[in-house]
Amino acid sequence: MKVAKFGGSSLASAAQIKRVFDIVNSDNKRKFIVVSAPGKRSGADTKVTDALIAYHKACKAQDERGIKVYQDWIVARYLEIYNELNMDSHIIEDIKENIQQLASLPIDNPYTYDTFLAAGENNNAKLIADYFSSAGLKSRYVHPADAGILVSSDPGNARLIQSSYERIKYLNDLEETLIIPGFFGVTAKGEVCTFSRGGSDITGSIIAAGVKAELYENFTDVNGIFAAHPGIVKNPVPIAELTYREMRELAYSGFSVLHDEALVPAYRAHVPLVIKNTNNPEHPGTKIVVQRETKGAPVVGIASSSNFSTLYVSKYLMNREVGFGRKVLSALENLGIRFEHMPTGIDDLSVVIRSHYLTQPVSKNLIANLIESLHPDEVNIERDFSIIMLVGEDMKEHVGVTARATAALSEKGISISMLSQGSSEVSVMFMVKEKDEKEALRAIYSAFFE
């Protein structure tokens, strides 16, 4: 059986929902359907979720006129889809009532905001289940509480309780095609609690792991993932298959297709994932697998990401002091700063940190702490770096990958501020000045793909 998740743009209109129906209906293995809230129909449109946020704000401000405006807009949004699908069920009354009742929830309850947000997915799932059934595919709407998605009590940042998988498994016993709203679960006390935003992908991944799906299909509005950012590299090659580790490195370093967290449940359950295009379902898309046969090309993708800084600490004979590196990391940890990399020389070390951590007061504090605890010869922070990440499972076996990449940068006269190879089995990291990021990415892409 397969889990298919459809994003907001795939469910923004009646026409899109009909496509989704055709996709689901064309393969009887597509039994578990996870849906988002209706997204934008065009660039200037408003997502239902964003309207729900505004609606919540109006409730908080006791802005009666605003409340009415948003209620009407949201209900109209569902009604339009309902009408265009030529539906004829009571579901639209349910949806209307549900949207209106949100206004009477206790506004100070920490779960109320999550309940507002979740209404987008929840009502869409009800509508779609009804439509699918009316169109001839016996379907059932399943609330996350009934699906067994029990989560921690962290509004806006729910975490799955591990025992949930035991209950999710029983969804296999239901006969119908199951339509499950994404993005939220329920706490032990029955409160609605959402995952971090973009969380429908997480729901799909959880269901896939729980029912032990053979495949998790993640339908979006793109044909899959490209080997480099299409905004920087012209017509980059598409990636047919990559591993979870590769995906994780790419996602981390700038690729923004699936949220990291969404990959974990499927990865841990060894369920392969495929990213497909709702508007081009024939396209094979990009498959993410636990292991793949490598096929000669050492690099599968190249990502880049800006806004990095370095903390540099040097001290003559530093290397002799057991605990020096650990003390630097402790100083960072005490200020709540996460570090990305810590390449070290003999008597110096650099720590790569995302720039947003290093506000002026934090930087000042950090440097003062380090001077006091370590008496370094030199300590400074440098900003405006970008990271370029070459990713590929097969790189380790290929002599010369780094040689080719460094030569490409050297030819363009681009300075490598930092280079780390071999720490990770699947990536090589280059750090360059932010101003060189795009040219560096193009040069390396060209060295491996052209």
Is 203 annotated as belonging to a binding site?
no
Is 336 annotated as belonging to a binding site?
no
Distance, CA of 313 to CA of 309 (rounded, Å)? 13
**Binding flag, residue 437, its own copies (CB under 8 A):** no
Nearer to its own copies, 154 or 347 (CB): 347
**Binding flag, residue 400, its own copies (CB under 8 A):** yes
**Binding flag, residue 406, its own copies (CB under 8 A):** yes
**Binding flag, residue 442, its own copies (CB under 8 A):** no
Nearer to its own copies, 132 or 448 (CB): 448
Let me know: does 108 contact 169? Beta carbons within 8 Å: no
Assigned token pair, 228: 């480099």
State the CB neighbour count (10 A cutoff) for residue 362: 15
**Binding flag, residue 339, its own copies (CB under 8 A):** yes
Is 198 annotated as belonging to a binding site?
no
Assigned token pair, 446: 């060209």
**Binding flag, residue 197, its own copies (CB under 8 A):** no
Q: Name the one range near its own copies by CB under 8 A: 32-40, 122-130, 253-261, 289-297.
A: 253-261
**Binding flag, residue 381, its own copies (CB under 8 A):** no
**Binding flag, residue 137, its own copies (CB under 8 A):** no
Q: From 130, 27, 54, select the one nearest 87 (Cα to Cα).
A: 130
In the list 348, 393, 394, 437, the residue contacting its own copies (rule: CB under 8 A) is: 348
Q: Which residues contact 138 (CB under 8 A, 6 or more apart)?
A: 175, 176, 177
Please spell the DSSP secondary structure of 15-73, one letter per residue. HHHHHHHHHHHT-TTEEEEEE-----SSTT---HHHHHHHHHHHHHTT-HHHHHHHHHH
Q: Which residues contact 177 (CB under 8 A, 6 or more apart)?
A: 24, 30, 31, 33, 132, 137, 138, 139, 140
Q: Residues 309, 357, 262, 245: what is their CA dihedral angle, to the nearest 10 degrees?
A: 30
Q: In the complex, what is the shortest distance from the CB of residue 371 to its own copies, in angstroms, rounded to a whole number?
A: 18
Let me know: does 171 contact 147? Beta carbons within 8 Å: yes
Q: From 286, 284, 282, select the one nearest 23 (Cα to Cα).
A: 282
Q: In the complex, what is the shortest distance from the CB of residue 361 to its own copies, in angstroms, rounded to a whole number?
A: 19
Report, in angstroms and rounded to the nearest whole number, the Rg of the chain calculated over CA atoms: 25
Is 221 annotated as belonging to a binding site?
yes
Nearer to its own copies, 295 or 320 (CB): 320
In the list 167, 341, 383, 438, the residue contacting its own copies (rule: CB under 8 A) is: 341
Nearer to its own copies, 77 or 259 (CB): 259
In the list 338, 360, 361, 372, the residue contacting its own copies (rule: CB under 8 A) is: 338
Can you give the binding site for its own copies, defined by CB under 8 A?
Answer: 244-245, 248-249, 252-253, 260-261, 264, 267-268, 314, 316-317, 319-320, 322-323, 325-326, 329-330, 333, 336, 338-350, 399-400, 402-404, 406-407, 409-410, 413-427, 429, 431
Q: Residues forming the annotated binding site?
A: 5-8, 49, 121, 220-221
